[in-house]
Structure 1
């Protein structure tokens, strides 16, 4: 077989193995995070986890297949290894970017849920409450002046 075919086979095997390994790891450890995001609703967390993994497989295996093609001539083992490392590096970058995107979106959902659970007080504090042994506003070592409401 020619070096091009070996490079293609190596890339396909490594790329698919990486996608499967990362997807299984994310599915296993991501469920705990999703349970927290969805406030302990196990059925919802499992369903979202499965959907995320399916989307992860589709996007990444599609990228592996899409990036398989090359127009570079491969005449030596060195050029085959260089091509293989470039292709596998692209797969790793896509895997990392998609994982980061998922974590950011789910963190935002979690943060919004926590904010709804702990609302901001309706009225800001209007005065300073003195604490025994602590200097008051305007005193040496104390906080600056307290803004009074208009």
Structure 2
């Protein structure tokens, strides 16, 4: 029995949920950092934050869909769980790396403006 479609569906649901949840948290809390960089223009900061959220969604959801082409055939429940956990862990690690990379650059810019 080919379980690829089941695995793909579960993977997309899990990762899109994680991506949207993390994106909304970063969007709500990230406006503080953007307004600190440009304190006099709230409208501009809101637009920059919206663009950052859109770029975040496009990169991560695009990567999630592209990873589906590299999967091997899933023939058992144990392979299904292995594929799901491995690929979900990869996307979570990528999100963490992107988060720390962004924090590094934001703090670097804030130090330059002081």
TM-score > 0.5, shorter chain as reference? yes
- Gapped runs of 5+ residues in structure 1? 115-150
- Aligned residue number for residue 38 of structure 1: 38
Higher relative contact order (Cα pairs below 8 Å, separated by 6+ residues): 2
- Aligned-residue Cα RMSD (Å) equals 1.5
How many aligned residue pairs are there? 114
- Aligned residue number for residue 9 of structure 2: 9
> Is residue 86 of structure 2 the alignment partner of residue 86 of structure 1?
yes
Q: Highest Rg: 1 or 2?
A: 1
- Aligned residue number for residue 61 of structure 1: 61
The Cα shift of 1:2 comes to 3.5
The 5-angstrom pairing of residues 1-150 of structure 1 reads 2-114=2-114
Provide closer, same or farther for how the CA distance between residues 40 and 104 of structure 1 changes in structure 2, counting only shifts above 3 A: farther
Task: Return the alpha-carbon distance in structure 1 between the equivalents of residues 30 and 62 of structure 2.
Answer: 22
Task: Return the alpha-carbon distance in structure 2 between the equivalents of residues 20 and 110 of structure 1.
Answer: 27
- TM-score under structure 2 normalisation? 0.90
Task: Return the alpha-carbon distance in structure 1 between the equivalents of residues 71 and 47 of structure 2.
Answer: 41
